[in-house]
Amino acid sequence: MSRPVVGILMGSDSDWQYIKPAASALHEFGVPFEVHVMSAHRTPHQVAEYAAQAETRGLKVILAAAGGAAHLAGVVAAHTTLPVIGIPVPTGLAGGLDSLLSMVQMPGDIPVATVGVGGGGARNAGLLAISILALSDETLAQRLKTFRQRLSEKVKSRDSQLQTKLAEEFGGSGETVG
């Protein structure tokens, strides 16, 4: 694998099950990444050093995942000017609302882009990183456009299948069912 351009940090290795969709999205698009476990509270100096050196090591975007009131994404953002995308990890408190709020309620001037809680959010974090990288990488931009086109075609196909099923079940085209 070539030199990583996206860094993925997790507050705990138990977060991997929730964060893996972000890595999978990056892998699908051929974007090199690295993954590390670091804690904003238990290894604060290591987090600060990682974030401060990320750009000189070639990273372009950092994804930071944590649960509860862990401020990993905010601490990372405080030590780099690279884009930081927070991935809130589900918890027992309202399904991860605490994680989400700790990221989206960042004080002004230190932004953290934040995605939803759970697998869809983690995948979106990977795709958002890809979108950011595609701004300066035409090949990646084309892959992203092709991906979006396939998504559109998939939805159109599913609608066509639904319309056929509705016509079989209720008669007509399905557009006037109800």
Whether the pLDDT of residue 176 is over 60: the answer is no
| Residue limits of CATH 3.40.50.1970 in the chain | 6-136
pLDDT digits (tens, 9 = 90+) for 109-142: 999 999 999 879 999 999 999 999 999 999 999 9
If one counts every other C-beta atom within 10 angstroms of the C-beta of residue 155, the result is 10
What is this structure's pTM? Answer: 0.91
Instruction: Indicate if the pLDDT at residue 172 is higher than 70.
Output: no
Please tell me the predicted confidence (pLDDT) of residue 173. 59
- Angle between helix axes 119-134 and 138-170 (nearest 10 degrees) is 140
Q: Are the C-beta atoms of residues 115 and 104 closer than 8 Å to each other?
A: no
pLDDT score for 70: 76
When pLDDT is averaged across residues 86-107 and rounded to a whole number, the result is 91
Query: Would you say the C-alpha torsion 155, 157, 158, 159 has a positive or negative sign?
Result: positive
Confidence at residue 175, expressed as pLDDT on a 0 to 100 scale? 59
Does position 41 have pLDDT exceeding 70, yes or no?
A: yes
Is 6-136 assigned to CATH 3.40.50.1970? Answer: yes
Q: Which residues on adjacent β-strands are paired with residue 73?
A: none
Mean pLDDT for the stretch of residues 46-58: 98
pLDDT at 178: 53
